[in-house]
Structure 1
């Protein structure tokens, strides 16, 4: 089992490690971590994010993409206001240009030495993040995802593992064995699996109030997948107990919101906090993941270090070299 942390080369996270390979190396060594799961938001600089540390890459993702995929121009213009804005968001006005963004991202991941890539399976328009009235069903999201992946299949190297990540929006939630099977059995790439995001799965149950309840719910959900649970190759490990916030704040229609307000709202739902209860070890013991990614959102190195330390302690794993 490899212990990793999430990291991107976005300017904010480049500043987090002071644009320094030495700082990142010291952090990984201090916590006895094996490396990182990267997200490339721009060109890869191997001098900072060294190939030897990159075990996986989280592919770029768009929370709302089905309207673009289906060519629903009227709805896209309603949401984004102009063709220029649509093209800027998706890398161009056509499917082909959007798919090329994925192809470039996959090529960069493979060049960087990634053993796996992570693909989000979800769709939610901005307004739906607030009122919970979703236009597309999980079945429709998964069907479209299968279409996308099968177009990209020939561009994904056979030895690059494609791991689908669950979310709490329509798509792969892992609550339905049939829909999970529909995805895994439907894609042409023969080297597929699941990246189980524990916080996202907890977000599907608004009644959870403790970490122990969350662990029980995660294990019950995984068990119901039957043989498909063996597709789980890794964990994005963090906890989220935001049910009360969702009950109080996700029932009202919002016509527009600033990006900062949207991000703040999502962060209150998807908390990305470390587990503190030793109950979390039961997930590791049951799933037996190949990768455990301590996935957090961090303001500074001290906060990042404290979160990793807390979760490693809960897992009863060795930390701090």
Structure 2
């Protein structure tokens, strides 16, 4: 099993990585990791990244896909206020923009020789982000996601795994049932689909978890319910999220967007809300090692949020200690 760290091309991450990614190299040596799962964003010269340290690509998460995919101009304008905002958010105003973006990122994964990419089979809208009560079904969103991927892979040289990651919002791919997996995979026209199990997203489904020990027990129970479908888990995003107190309080808010008049103001409120739900913290309880008695992924990513290298390293070390002998490096084996 390979162990990776998550990194993006956001400015904060790049400042930690170093201009020539020299600090990114040294962090791998310091922590014993094999490389990075990269989330590519913005106009960045990816040729400047040493390819040997990139072990996977996390495809862009657009969040709101339904209206642009089906060219629902009325709803797009209702959500985004004007055409300019639509173009700024997606990089264009049609589904071809989405397809082009994903094909470019698959080509990047091919150039880096990445064995997998990650895709969120999810659609969500700002109107339901606080109340968790969307007017669509998970079946609709799984079908939409399959349509998107099928269109993207019709013209790509990438031949690695496309791994589908769970999220917590109802009406989406939550891994509540193996029926979600079967429906998605039955509709895919790609020969190498698999799963990314995001542990924090599993925990976010349950807003009544009170302790890390209880959270790990819940996580293991959810994984057990997958039965033989656990073999489809090719990668794990390993992180902890215990934000139930905040989620319960946020659901009681009567006007969560009060004062936010423009799309970008509403989007900023929503993004801040999501960050408080999805904490991307480190596990500390040793029971988390039991996860790997149930699944045997090729890759485990320590997927954390961090504002400094010091915060990042602290989370890395805490989670390594929680895994104990489940985490080991080539140096320690030799």
Normalising by structure 2, what TM-score?
A: 0.91
Whether the 8 Å contact between 1:118 and 1:162 is mirrored in structure 2 is yes
Write the deviation string for residues 162-210 of structure 1: whole angstroms up to 9, x where unpaired.
Answer: 0000000232100121112111222111111000000001111112122
Whether the 8 Å contact between 2:118 and 2:162 is mirrored in structure 1 is yes
Describe how 1:293-304 pairs up with structure 2 within 5 A: 293-304=301-312
Whether the 8 Å contact between 1:87 and 1:93 is mirrored in structure 2 is yes
- Bigger CA drift: 38-47 or 302-311? 38-47
Paired position in structure 1 for 2:290: 282
Paired position in structure 1 for 2:175: 174
* 1:160 Cα offset (Å): 0.9
Whether the 8 Å contact between 1:165 and 1:197 is mirrored in structure 2 is yes
* Partner of residue 311 from structure 1, selected from 319, 325, 329: 319
Describe how 1:29-68 pairs up with structure 2 within 5 A: 29-41=29-41, 42-47=43-48, 49-68=49-68
Query: Counterpart of 1:101 in 2: which secondary structure?
Result: helix
4+ residue stretches of structure 1 with deviation over 6 A? none
Write the deviation string for residues 210-242 of structure 1: whole angstroms up to 9, x where unpaired.
Answer: 222222222222222222221001100001111
Q: In structure 1, what is the Cα distance between the partners aligned to 2:70 and 2:286? A: 45
Write the deviation string for residues 273-307 of structure 1: whole angstroms up to 9, x where unpaired.
Answer: 00000011001221111111000011011110000
Give the direction of change, closer, same or farther, for the CA distance of 1:156–1:229 in structure 2 (3 Å limit): farther
Whether the 8 Å contact between 1:211 and 1:279 is mirrored in structure 2 is no
| RMSD over equivalenced CA pairs, Å | 1.8
Q: In structure 2, what is the Cα distance between the partners aligned to 1:254 and 1:75? A: 21
Whether the 8 Å contact between 2:224 and 2:294 is mirrored in structure 1 is no
Q: In structure 2, what is the Cα distance between the partners aligned to 1:131 and 1:102? A: 30
Paired position in structure 1 for 2:142: 142
Paired position in structure 2 for 1:262: 270
Structure 1 residue 84 corresponds to structure 2 residue 92? no
Paired position in structure 1 for 2:108: 108
Whether the 8 Å contact between 1:3 and 1:33 is mirrored in structure 2 is yes
Query: Counterpart of 1:127 in 2: which secondary structure?
Result: helix
Whether the 8 Å contact between 1:158 and 1:189 is mirrored in structure 2 is no
Paired position in structure 2 for 1:191: 192
In structure 2, runs of 5+ residues without a counterpart are none
Q: In structure 2, what is the Cα distance between the partners aligned to 1:194 and 1:44? A: 29
Write the deviation string for residues 113-167 of structure 1: whole angstroms up to 9, x where unpaired.
Answer: 2110000111111121122221322111101011111112223446311000000
Query: Counterpart of 2:56 in 1: which secondary structure?
Result: strand
* 1:262 Cα offset (Å): 2.4
Q: In structure 1, what is the Cα distance between the partners aligned to 2:214 and 2:14? A: 36
Structure 1 residue 271 corresponds to structure 2 residue 279? yes
Q: In structure 2, what is the Cα distance between the partners aligned to 1:90 and 1:55? A: 26
Q: In structure 2, what is the Cα distance between the partners aligned to 1:3 and 1:19? A: 24
Q: In structure 2, what is the Cα distance between the partners aligned to 1:50 and 1:158? A: 19
Count of aligned positions: 320
Give the direction of change, closer, same or farther, for the CA distance of 1:44–1:278 in structure 2 (3 Å limit): farther
